[in-house]
Structure 1
């Protein structure tokens, strides 16, 4: 592989950002199809390809948003998967708290502003103004963890393809909290489990929240090398 290809690939990975404010301009249909074709190339266990993806635009997008907001306002959460990060003092909780503080700070929402935080959470279900959203489902298989991992690789392809085309997306676990409402709205069976959504479009360059850059832990916090020459 050429140095240019490697550099381009690295640039795409490192320039990917999760936008949380979008312009209303729709993504051309050809670009959406191209993103879906790229995502479809994701690896999966024994090539099972255990993802079902629903993409919403226009009126269908608005109707989905309304259904999720209605469930949110009624307190009707029904996640198919757990949403905890471990003990309160775990490194995962600490990372989540730092991320939340940075995002709420960029939006000018104080820690004790309960109303502001509730409104910010609701923006998840308005897809941060994005013109499109994809919901990623996985069938209820014997090993759901393995299948969910495959869907994660699909999602990464999806996000990187958006980035390469000049668009942005944001994975949103919040969507998975309203799985029953989504299934009822779409007429889907109970054994099709909702993992999360990806809102996507063109990021609003003027939104302060889009200027928040989330850091990553150094490699030695995650990687154990068993070859001292590396």
Structure 2
């Protein structure tokens, strides 16, 4: 396999894994992945990222508190709008296709709110991953820095694949920022962006059989000459 094929394989095999093995991930490997990801470009090289690596007892306590808030149906209080305020075509159709595709794989019927809530709650147990990364950004940084941050996050996920790991990026982990900030000592001058659960895939997990479709080049590429 040549260098290009290695990169392509890491990118195209990256997916949101929703079932992990309890097998621990070594700190040296985590550091290698994050150091590699830090080569992401950023405007004027300001490197706006800040990462909290959460494992062990702290991971379990963070999970317990987030799950408790979810199970008590505490209103979510994300610090920014991740999704459109008003959904429209073609994005609403893509969202529904992905959501119902996963639920169909899991045998969850439309209208089964209890099963849907239980599946959503698995976000807060990090799908069993032994490591969760929490990301925050300074409040006074602008949209360009958020673009930079996205490239950093992608680098983490691709680098993890290159090391034989899988990941699940989770906007849901920003739903209760007060809990996350309190547990991890993040001050109010930073916004909690999201989290990434990371570990080794549980290949027996039913949710991991789902593969969301990708749109073709003809739907998002325009050539000019």
Give 1:142 deviation, angstroms: 4.3
For residue 25 of structure 1, give the secondary structure of its aligned residue in structure 2.
Answer: coil
State the partner residue of 2:169: 171
Give 1:44 deviation, angstroms: 0.7
State the partner residue of 1:92: 91
1:66 paired residue among 41, 64, 78: 64
Is 1:132 the counterpart of 2:137 in the alignment?
no
C-alpha distance after superposition, 1:84-103 (max 9, x if no partner): 33544421121111111111
Contact 2:52-2:184 within 8 A present in 1 as well:
no
Is 1:24 the counterpart of 2:22 in the alignment?
yes
Size of the aligned set, in residue pairs, is: 224
Is 1:194 the counterpart of 2:158 in the alignment?
no
For residue 126 of structure 1, give the secondary structure of its aligned residue in structure 2.
Answer: helix
State the partner residue of 2:53: 55
Give 1:225 deviation, angstroms: 1.6
Contact 1:17-1:168 within 8 A present in 2 as well:
yes
For residue 170 of structure 1, give the secondary structure of its aligned residue in structure 2.
Answer: strand
For residue 191 of structure 2, give the secondary structure of its aligned residue in structure 1.
Answer: strand
Is 1:122 the counterpart of 2:114 in the alignment?
no
Is 1:203 the counterpart of 2:225 in the alignment?
no
State the partner residue of 1:148: 146
- Specify every segment of 5 or more residues in structure 1 that has no aligned partner in the other structure, as ranges: none
Compare 126-135 and 99-108 and name the one that shifted more: 99-108
- Once residues 168 and 174 of structure 1 are traced to their aligned partners in structure 2, the CA distance between those partners, rounded to angstroms, is 18
State the partner residue of 1:223: 221
Is 1:8 the counterpart of 2:2 in the alignment?
no
Compare 51-60 and 181-190 and name the one that shifted more: 181-190
C-alpha distance after superposition, 1:111-155 (max 9, x if no partner): 111110111111001000111100111111241x21111111111
C-alpha distance after superposition, 1:9-34 (max 9, x if no partner): 11111111210011111112221111
- Once residues 114 and 69 of structure 2 are traced to their aligned partners in structure 1, the CA distance between those partners, rounded to angstroms, is 18
What TM-score does the superposition give when structure 1 sets the normalisation length? 0.92
- Once residues 197 and 223 of structure 2 are traced to their aligned partners in structure 1, the CA distance between those partners, rounded to angstroms, is 36
- Specify every segment of 5 or more residues in structure 2 that has no aligned partner in the other structure, as ranges: none
Give 1:187 deviation, angstroms: 2.8
For residue 183 of structure 1, give the secondary structure of its aligned residue in structure 2.
Answer: helix
